[in-house]
Amino acid sequence: MPNNTAPELSPYHYDRIARLLDAQTQQVVDELLASGVDLEAPDKEGCTVLMCAVKEGRIGMVKALLQAGANIEARDPDGNTPLMEAIARRDLPMVSALLDEGVNIDARNNNCTALIFATYSGEVAMMRMLHSAGADIDAACATGLTPLLMAAYEGHLDMLNALLEAGANANARAEGGATAMMLAAGKGKVPMLNALVLAGLDIQATADGGVTALMVAAQEGQSAAVGVLLAAGARIDAVDNEGSSALLSAACAQAWACMDILRLHGAKMHAANYVGETPEQTIRAVFKDIDVNAPLPGGLTRLMDAAKNGFWTLMETLIAAGAHVDAVNGEGDTALMFAARGGQWAAMDMLRDQGADMHAPNHDGVTPFAAALQTLEKSGDVGLADNGTAFATVRLLLEQDHWTHMELLFAMVAGIEAIDHRAQTAPQEVCDLAVGTAGSRDPVGADDAGYSNIIAGQEGRHDAPAVAFCGVPAD
């Protein structure tokens, strides 16, 4: 324990400590130590001279102090040991020196061990050094986080892999029963999730309350994590102890991108929990007492903003709540224009189904059709270079109900200035495929059934707004 009596806290004491830390030769160090400096008395910040030497990276001084009897387990006011301080400074040579001097490798501050310190900092070499010296690789902090769980939470992929290689318990649970998969999902750590899936962790595992990793990702609005978990086989129909699904979790969080992805994989808007709450009811309640046509800061309506981001569940909700499809901002841009500029083809399909005009110019004379063609040109997604490519491209677009995207591809290849001329401009076999399925298209319309009719037209579609051909959308 630090000696807090008056003589050690005198100005003379501090002067001798300062001179000791400033010493440049072993002779000066030996002379000062021989003069009777109290090595355990704290400085004005509550640190012993050994802790100060560690903070300054003075390995020679540290060894001299330890030889003179300094306490290697001395604590600072936060309970940290010299070893923890060296780890926090990422001072690998100092850590090695302290280990050589026999430091207690599993000592704790008020919460964590030195190994957890190293994990938090992402210092793989330091973790390996501590583990090789005998540190407990599964020792948990006060909240139940083991080094592996800490690595998952912080997103330190190299650290996670190193811990798994060292034999860390991959199925450890934090407070509340959370797994590494859940911690990574809640933070949206996609590379970490992929590594955990490859390591064979149970993707269906539940924490307290029956919560799964998919539910955690949905509740936190981590759409990329939702996509990874679904691709790895997470059960979309799983419910917690209250009967709530991942889709209801996303609805409660207003996580629109997550809702879109979950619905593409079959999640149902009308599936109720044990008290009768459904995702549909939850998101409709959000706009119950809101003027959905009132402009947001910046002049966009909510529908324009949703179209720009391609959030089609939000768009459905807004349209059902009375959002004006052809409303314009100060530049004369409609929601369809914002969808066109962002290449949000599914959003364009939905707005056109609701009567939005592809050829309505804004104040600069630019139409959504022209803007969409420009977006397509910038993306380099021509896709109809020859008949074989054209046939495969159009078949995929038809299967996914990407009608606007398909029509724009035709228009780009033909160099036309209008849309809906596919029978005159596309290769014959492509036209046959398109025309043969065109009559089966069931446009989504807002009738007296309102929201339910829109939902019925979109449930189970394969055209996530930001998915197209490039995987899972980001928030």
Q: Which fold has domain 302-458?
A: 1.25.40
pLDDT in tens, 415-468: 544 444 333 344 444 444 444 444 343 333 222 233 333 333 333 333 333 322
Out of 204-218, 243-257, 345-359, 435-449, which region has the weakest mean confidence (pLDDT)?
435-449
- Other beta carbons less than 10 A from residue 411's beta carbon: 22
Say whether pLDDT at 388 is over 50. Answer: no
What does the block give as tokens for 301? 């309506």
User: Cα(38)–Cα(52) distance, rounded to whole angstroms?
Assistant: 14
Region 398-422: what's the mean pLDDT? 57
Indicate the DSSP class of residue 474: P
> Which range in 21-35, 143-157, 368-382 is most confidently predicted, on average pLDDT?
143-157
Sorted by where each begins, the domain ranges of the chain are 173-286, 302-458
Place of tokens 């998969």: 181
Out of 8-22, 50-64, 304-318, which region has the weakest mean confidence (pLDDT)?
8-22
Where is pLDDT greater, at 8 or 218? Answer: 218
> Which range in 31-35, 320-324, 378-382 is most confidently predicted, on average pLDDT?
320-324
pLDDT of residue 19: 62
pLDDT of residue 321: 94
Contacts of residue 383, defined as CB under 8 A and 6 or more positions apart, other chains included, come to 389, 390, 393, 409
pLDDT of residue 331: 95
Say whether pLDDT at 84 is over 50. Answer: yes
pLDDT of residue 403: 65
Residue 300 Rama label (left phi>0; alpha psi -120 to 50; beta): beta
Region 204-211: what's the mean pLDDT? 96
pLDDT of residue 38: 73
pLDDT of residue 438: 41
Say whether pLDDT at 295 is over 90. Answer: yes
Q: How confident is the model at residue 233 (pLDDT cuts 50, 70, 90)?
A: very high
> Which range in 200-204, 216-220, 409-413 is most confidently predicted, on average pLDDT?
216-220
pLDDT of residue 413: 57
Instruction: Give me the count of residues in the chain.
Output: 475
Tell me the pLDDT of the chain averaged across its residues: 79
Q: Give the per-residue SS3 of 190-216.
A: HHHHHHHHHCCCCCCCCCHHHCCHHHH
Say whether pLDDT at 383 is over 90. Answer: no
Domain 173-286, CATH: 1.25.40.20
- 311 within 8 A of 260, measured Cβ to Cβ: yes
First to last CA, the chain: 52
**Angle 451-457-459 from CA coordinates, rounded to 5°:** 90
Q: How confident is the model at residue 184 (pLDDT cuts 50, 70, 90)?
A: very high
> Which range in 39-53, 297-311, 345-359, 386-400 is most confidently predicted, on average pLDDT?
297-311
Out of 225-229, 345-349, 377-381, 426-430, which region has the weakest mean confidence (pLDDT)?
426-430
> CA 206, 167, 156, 92: dihedral to nearest 10 degrees?
150
pTM for the structure as a whole: 0.75
Out of 190-199, 317-326, 335-344, 441-450, which region has the weakest mean confidence (pLDDT)?
441-450
What does the block give as tokens for 210? 């029956």
Same fold, 173-286 and 302-458: yes
